[in-house]
Amino acid sequence: MSDTIYIYDKLFDFTRSVFTKMGCSAADAKLATEVLLSADMRGIDSHGVARLSGYVRLWEAKRINAQPNIRIVHETPSTAVVDGDAGLGLVVAPYAMNIAMEKAEKVGTGWVSVRNSNHFGIAGYHAMMALRQDMIGISMTNASALVAPTFSVERMLGTNPIAVAIPADKQPPFVADFATTTAANGKLEILQRKNAAAPLGWVQTHDGDASTNASELKNNGALLPLGSDRDHGSHKGYALGSIVDIFSAVLSGASYGPWAPPFPAYVPMPSNMPGEGLGHFFGAMRTDAFRPKQEFKEHMDNWITRFRQATPVPDQQEVLIPGDPERRMEEERAKNGIPVVNSVVADIKAVADKMGIDYASLHS
């Protein structure tokens, strides 16, 4: 069966209605929708409307507070800790990123660690907020444990993504946004739907053996850190995922490592959690805190232009700059709509029924 195509504006109105029915304020419902659907627009389908039903279930389980009192609990001129009051990460994260940017405006850089939050959508959205003010933006989050450290069979870390957005002048910005695993879980989900095998190095069995089974997580297997195995640097991916976990959760007072709260509402919360909710970490750096802004931007143009010209492997595609594929996808989907697979369409219909929203409005 072919995908259903949604037009962004219709999907936006629908999704906003869902968040409004959950009890979000008008501003929060709009913001949460914008953050969530930025994933669909940029082609990171696993993190967009596909997760809407998951957010609704977390709200039903009272793990998401639709009317949070998000607040700063500690700060210095360049840092803050934000308590998300169990709010939607989609709303808590931009709040925290704005604080990082305000601090950067005053003292050059701003760094905010967040506790008591939930899944925040794609890391890239929050990092890219900084681009609006010609700042460098950094965003990361911990997540429920699916990843085994090097030498382990136990799931100890989430896919813990890192995003870094860097402004340029005439060139589009540099936007890296990646899970600290070899492959994001969303890529496994795509293979599962196709009944296809995964490349070796993405997952391991519950005994730690190499596996090509895209459903290995259902057998208590684990995702592998970037690098796949020790010989190929998995200890580096494990270190990166750990740094994200510590900056996001140990600095803020969120729950970390294997105690990070699970996204699926049917999974019980871990016992003896050492902190509150999920954690995030955000940074903003004014480029002119280092050198004149225009000079920086022109050198970024030069950097980007030179890397685009790097000699390609014979008969392969040209070299890309981080952010290129997502930007092209965004242009394409703005024109042609967002294709959504049938299992997600069924989920969306169920959400519409549950929340008393007319599904037909998505196609009117």
7 binds a copy of itself (CB under 8 A): no
Nearer to a copy of itself, 40 or 245 (CB): 245
Contact with a copy of itself (CB under 8 A): which of 72, 267, 269, 320?
Answer: 320
Using DSSP, state whether 50 is helix, strand or coil. Answer: helix
Euclidean distance between CA atoms 330 and 43, whole angstroms: 7
113 binds a copy of itself (CB under 8 A): yes
233 binds a copy of itself (CB under 8 A): yes
Q: What are phi and psi of 78, to 5 degrees?
A: -110, 5
Of 3-11, 120-128, 230-238, 263-271, which segment contacts a copy of itself by CB under 8 A?
230-238
Pairing of strands 79-83, 71-76: antiparallel
Q: Say which residue the tokens 């929708």 belong to.
A: 33
Nearer to a copy of itself, 54 or 186 (CB): 186
Please, are residues 257 and 64 in contact by the beta-carbon 8 Å criterion?
Answer: no
Of the candidates 131, 138, 84, 143, which has an alpha carbon nearest to the alpha carbon of residue 111? 138
Assigned token pair, 50: 């596909």
Nearer to a copy of itself, 172 or 201 (CB): 201
Contact with a copy of itself (CB under 8 A): which of 242, 263, 333, 340?
Answer: 242
Assigned token pair, 287: 């480029």
Contact with a copy of itself (CB under 8 A): which of 286, 348, 357, 362?
Answer: 286
Binding mask 181-200 for a copy of itself (x = CB under 8 A): xxx---------------x-
Residues 38-97 that bind a copy of itself (CB under 8 A): 74, 76-79, 81
Pairing of strands 162-166, 135-141: antiparallel
Binding mask 257-276 for a copy of itself (x = CB under 8 A): xx---------------xx-
Of 12-20, 54-62, 173-181, 333-341, which segment contacts a copy of itself by CB under 8 A?
173-181
Sheet holding 222-223, edge to edge: 210-211, 203-204, 222-223
